[in-house]
Amino acid sequence: MGYAFMMGQCFSCRQVFTFNPVRVPSVRDKNRERQPICGNCMNKVNMEKESLGLPCFLVPSDAYEACHEDELT
């Protein structure tokens, strides 16, 4: 039994961060590959959306924590 987390660069701010590879918020790049978004950038986006009266993106509570190895495909 083990746990896993990824380390990568935020697609928005380019900062390196750790995340749950299954639950992290992401966007698709020009090649249609998922790219992770860090918690700070998600907070900024959601604050902007809220100020415009738009619904915020839901960020899973475990998006930036390790996941159980069974969740990996």
Look at residue 1 in the predicted model and tell me its pLDDT.
76
In whole angstroms, give the CA distance from residue 48 to residue 42. Answer: 10
Tokens of 51: 């100020």
Residue 45 near residue 57 (C-beta atoms within 8 A): yes
Look at residue 36 in the predicted model and tell me its pLDDT.
98
User: Per-10-residue mean pLDDT for the chain, 73 residues long?
Assistant: 92 98 96 97 97 97 93 83
CA distances from residue 32 to 17, 26, 39 in whole angstroms, order as listed: 21, 11, 22
CA distances from residue 1 to 64, 69, 71 in whole angstroms, order as listed: 20, 7, 12
Look at residue 73 in the predicted model and tell me its pLDDT.
74
Look at residue 55 in the predicted model and tell me its pLDDT.
97
